[in-house]
Amino acid sequence: MSCFYLFLPGAGYHSTQKKDAYVKLCKSKCLKVSHLLKKGWGAVECVAEAVKCLEDSVLTNAGMGYNLNLSGSVECDASVMEGKKLMFGAVGAISGVKNPIEVSASLVTRQLGDKLSLGRLHPSVLVGDGAKQWAEENGIKTLETRHLITDDAQKTYQNHKRELDIVNERDANKKMKLSEQEEEKIQDTVGAIVMDTSGNIATAVSSGGISLKQPGRLGPAATYGAGCWAYNQRPGKAGVGTSTSGSGEHIMKTLLARESALSIQREDNASLGLSNCFKNNFLESEFLEEEADKLAGVLALKQNEGDTVEVLWGHTTDSMCVGYMSSSLKKPKVVMSRLPEGGIPGKSFTMSGVSI
């Protein structure tokens, strides 16, 4: 059984100037997870470690340096799902934790363990102070929120807040004019999909959310069926994993992770399944009729009978960076996917994929 792992440093906008940095980031994390899989780590452990490494990068909008909310504070969402017993764990609007994905993974691990007394169920989703308290009680490092705010994040927040104040004072319909660097930070959610040597699939996603978001806002990275989905191969059903990125409210309204996974499972041709989902369940979704620009990216893995594996990615955003690797590949592969010439972000769609 081949092991397989891939990473998504966000669907959104990626400048050509930072392409080499994104490629280097993806390659290094693919190699790290390769080493962990060879040591016998399971899918949940590896997918959490993959996202943790991405959270630690200042290139991404997750973990260290992520977007600040309207009050200038940090609140992050993250989730993990595993495909064997279909357990899901998530944290929402959590603050004071450097790696929210660790809390999500601990929730999954706890659900896979012993039952609670008196018929109680382990929690699958925790938010706010309750999520931080869980982290503290379970040995996950916490820290003061101010230590999570980088100079770049603070500068971006101040620029965005200044633009918002101008808009509020002069013209409610005026769109903020963002610099290339600021635009790049807006939708850089990160995610990962891992299939371990036993064929178990796990997926994860982590995000700091949109800049200037309302305090307390819950995003797709903490929402069941929206941010990630995992399902192991079963008789008559292909194994599948998905991770999403983009405009949170669009992704939540369409349950994009789950819908794309189900669409891929229904079709013998995985590419057709993902394409149908983007067309019917996203761009033409009745739930997004009032939205002019519909922004999302999906990373997907499909395990077919005979253990052949397909990796797919598609997006309506300007760009999407994907890295992948398997036991049959000597080196990781990284793709900076962009809309074709003439494509319009939010209205056009592009996709690609490989079979391993």
Active-site positions? 189
The answer to whether 243 and 299 have CB atoms below 8 angstroms apart is yes
Neighbours of 179 (CB within 10 A): 10
Reading the block at residue 286, the tokens are 């009745």
CA of 349: how far to CAs of 117, 247, 268, 274, 276, in Å? 49, 15, 21, 11, 11
Distance separating alpha carbons of residues 129 and 96, to the nearest angstrom:
9
Distance separating alpha carbons of residues 229 and 336, to the nearest angstrom:
23
Q: Tokens 């995992």 identify what position?
A: 230
Distance of CA 271 to the CA centre of its chain: 20
125-127 vs 88-94, strand pairing mode: parallel
Q: Tokens 């013209």 identify what position?
A: 171
Q: Is 35 exposed, middle or buried (0-12, 13-18, 19+ CB in 10 A)?
A: exposed
Work out the angle between the directed axes of helices 43-55 and 19-38 (0-180°, nearest 10).
150
- Smallest CA-to-CA distance from 297 within 271, 278, 324, 270 is with 278
